[in-house]
């Protein structure tokens, strides 16, 4: 279940109240007339089934509530209520499979900002990977994968493509196009300093690369693993349970491949650098294609349900048009 706090002008609030009272997926509706002061208006508190959250939120946005007021959404960890149980049963599907598209966009928007901390995490992750490559340590490579923040912008680009969000796409691209080059340049500089100080071998041949050789030698398994990780990552992002995301981070070699470009460049090993660049490209491309495909399928289910919902009589209670979205055509595909 999700808990909504809605602040709206009286006219919009009344329409929203009628909508929520008519919906079988909503319960525990509380109306506080004139309770809001900034902006002035009414307050509605309501619990809704996660499965129908995006459907009802689309109706509320159609009433222009985000423009004139606000909608705050909170996850309910535990609710002991037969009314809530009835609301969940009324909404088709399972809560764990439900996609709240507003929540997905909010998550990815937060992770695509080109901030100082994002760039620092990219640099630090590649520095850890650099040491792992030089020492041929899989433990350090895995650690670098976990530290790396690159999955956020990749996921953001997938969401932006499916939902046609140009601004989100540009932010995601900017984060990746700045984060990776800065990390690679920092890795080149760090490797050169270590070489100058005599802390690392003079060449790759001085130390075996038995455990980390795969980073610069992409094959069909690189594509398969990255594609599967992309699907798992999107499912983790869109579901209520996101525990699988760590597994996604340690299954693709984006950060190690980028770090290996820097290490190989510092050693003037251009074939190794080219192989690492190919690995990076395969991983990024595979994750993106798999992520977009997964989100597109999930989006089709939402569009189908949204189209059916537009014919629901409960919309008429709120003064919304039957069979059409008054706000835009976006919600119905």
Whether 293 has a pLDDT exceeding 70, the answer reads yes
Whether 190 has a pLDDT exceeding 80, the answer reads yes
As given in the structure block, the two tokens for residue 299 are 């989006």
Domain ranges in the chain?
2-97, 104-302
Whether 26 has a pLDDT exceeding 90, the answer reads yes
As given in the structure block, the two tokens for residue 204 are 């790759």
Rounded mean pLDDT of 193-198? 89
190: nearest Cα among 116, 275, 133, 150: 133
What is the band of 206 on the pLDDT scale with cuts at 50, 70, 90?
A: very low
**pLDDT score, position 240:** 63
Residue 9 CB partners (closer than 8 Å, separation 6+) = 39, 40, 41, 42, 68, 69
Rounded mean pLDDT of 226-244? 78
Lowest mean pLDDT among 22-31, 253-262, 305-314: 305-314
Rounded mean pLDDT of 71-98? 88
Whether 331 has a pLDDT exceeding 50, the answer reads no
Q: What is the pLDDT of residues 6-19, one digit of tens each?
A: 999 999 999 999 99
Between the alpha carbon of residue 51 and those of residues 21, 25, 57, 134, the distances in Å are 17, 8, 11, 49
Lowest mean pLDDT among 58-62, 288-292, 311-315: 311-315
**pLDDT score, position 249:** 62
Share of the chain above pLDDT 90, in %: 51
Mean per-residue pLDDT of the chain: 86
CA atoms within 13 A on the CB side of 131: 12
**pLDDT score, position 32:** 96
What is the band of 129 on the pLDDT scale with cuts at 50, 70, 90?
A: very high
Q: What angle do CA 319, 322, 326 make, to 5 degrees?
A: 70
Whether 170 has a pLDDT exceeding 90, the answer reads yes
Judge if the upstream peptide bond of residue 39 is cis by omega within 30 degrees of 0: yes
What is the band of 122 on the pLDDT scale with cuts at 50, 70, 90?
A: very high
CA 138 – CA 130 distance, rounded (Å): 11
Whether 205 has a pLDDT exceeding 80, the answer reads no
CB 315 within 8 A of CB 322: yes
Q: What angle do CA 318, 100, 118 make, to 5 degrees?
A: 130
Whether 230 has a pLDDT exceeding 50, the answer reads yes
What is the band of 238 on the pLDDT scale with cuts at 50, 70, 90?
A: confident
Rounded mean pLDDT of 130-156? 89
CA 259 – CA 82 distance, rounded (Å): 54
CATH class of 2-97: alpha beta
């Amino acid at each position: 279940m999700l808990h909504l706090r809605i602040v709206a002008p009286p006219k919009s609030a009344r329409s929203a109240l009628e909508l929520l009272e008519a919906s079988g997926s909503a319960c525990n509706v509380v109306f506080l007339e004139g309770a809001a002061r900034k902006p002035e208006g009414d307050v509605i508190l309501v619990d809704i089934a996660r499965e129908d959250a995006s459907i009802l939120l689309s109706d509320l946005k159609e009433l222009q509530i985000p423009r004139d007021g606000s909608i705050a959404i909170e996850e309910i960890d535990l609710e002991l209520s037969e009314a809530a149980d009835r609301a969940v049963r009324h909404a088709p599907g399972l809560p764990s499979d439900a996609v709240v598209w507003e929540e997905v966009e909010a998550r990815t928007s937060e992770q695509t900002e080109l901030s100082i901390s994002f760039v620092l995490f990219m640099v630090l992750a590649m520095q850890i990977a650099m040491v792992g490559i030089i020492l041929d340590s899989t433990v350090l490579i895995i650690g670098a994968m976990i530290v790396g923040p690159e999955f956020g912008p990749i996921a953001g680009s997938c969401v932006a493509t499916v939902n046609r969000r140009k601004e989100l796409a540009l932010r995601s691209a900017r984060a990746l196009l700045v984060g990776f080059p800065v990390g690679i340049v920092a890795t080149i500089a760090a490797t050169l300093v270590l070489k100058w100080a005599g802390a690392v071998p003079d060449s790759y041949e001085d130390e075996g690369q038995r455990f980390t050789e795969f980073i610069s030698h992409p094959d069909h398994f690189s594509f398969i693993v990255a594609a599967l990780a992309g699907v798992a990552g999107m499912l983790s992002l869109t579901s209520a349970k996101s525990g699988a995301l760590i597994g996604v981070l340690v299954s693709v070699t984006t950060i190690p491949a980028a770090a290996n470009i820097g290490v190989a460049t510092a050693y003037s090993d251009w074939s190794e650098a080219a192989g690492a660049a190919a690995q990076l490209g395969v991983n990024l491309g595979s994750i993106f294609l798999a992520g977009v495909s997964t989100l597109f399928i999930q989006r089709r289910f939402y569009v189908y349900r949204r189209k059916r919902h537009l014919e629901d009589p409960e919309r008429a209670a709120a003064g919304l048009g039957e069979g059409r979205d008054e706000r835009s055509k976006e919600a119905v595909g």
